[in-house]
Amino acid sequence: MFRCGIAYPRCRWILPLLLLFAIIFDIIAIAAQSGWVEDENAKSHYASMWDQCRGRNDVWNCKSLMEFSWAQAVAALMIIGLIILIVAFIISCVALCCSLNIMLLPLIGALLLIVAIFQIIALIIYPVKFNEQIFEGNYNYTWAYGFGWGATIIVIGCTILFCCLPRYEDNLSGLAKTKYIYQSA
């Protein structure tokens, strides 16, 4: 006999793990020195969240992007989002892993919504202002910029889950009977 059902108690461990992955992705995006944007053809220009560099081979001339207010805003939004994400992760570990505290789940969802808004704004400001002020040809957005979007997508998904989970308190605690999606004879 084969049975297939949803094991809600596993969500208690999976959701904090997803938030941990979002934290790791954010740290990679923020700390990446190889750049968020690089020149398509000559590989002679790249820019990270913090600075832009021009040159070839081992000779690079780097200038800080922090002299631009838009770059400061992007850095601030990403770092504040990361800090709020870490707080949400700690609260989720307390709410789901240590003991089941359903009252904290909407708070975590609200914190994650704020993180998603901050990061979406930052990840949209960067390419718009880069193209407006620094753009000099064809550029590709790199894996570091992609990690920023990856973290944001995970946060959006977790926001939805944390807002919906209070409806399934009995299922999360293991008190509800398992409902099977598929059951063969």
- What distance in Å separates the CA atoms of residue 17 and residue 93, rounded to the nearest whole number? 9
- What distance in Å separates the CA atoms of residue 154 and residue 159, rounded to the nearest whole number? 9
Lowest average pLDDT, out of 20-29, 105-114, 131-140, goes to: 131-140
The burial class, CB within 10 Å (0-12 / 13-18 / 19+), for 181 is exposed
- What distance in Å separates the CA atoms of residue 32 and residue 2, rounded to the nearest whole number? 47
Strand-pairing partners, residue 56, are 59
Do 22 and 140 meet the contact criterion of CB atoms below 8 Å apart?
Answer: no
Cβ neighbours of residue 183 closer than 8 Å, sequence gap 6 or more: 1, 2, 3, 4
- CATH for 7-176 is 1.20.140.150
Q: pLDDT by residue (tens digit) across 71-122?
A: 999 999 999 999 999 999 999 999 887 777 788 889 999 999 999 999 999 9
pLDDT of residue 1: 47
pTM score of the predicted model = 0.84
pLDDT of residue 72: 93
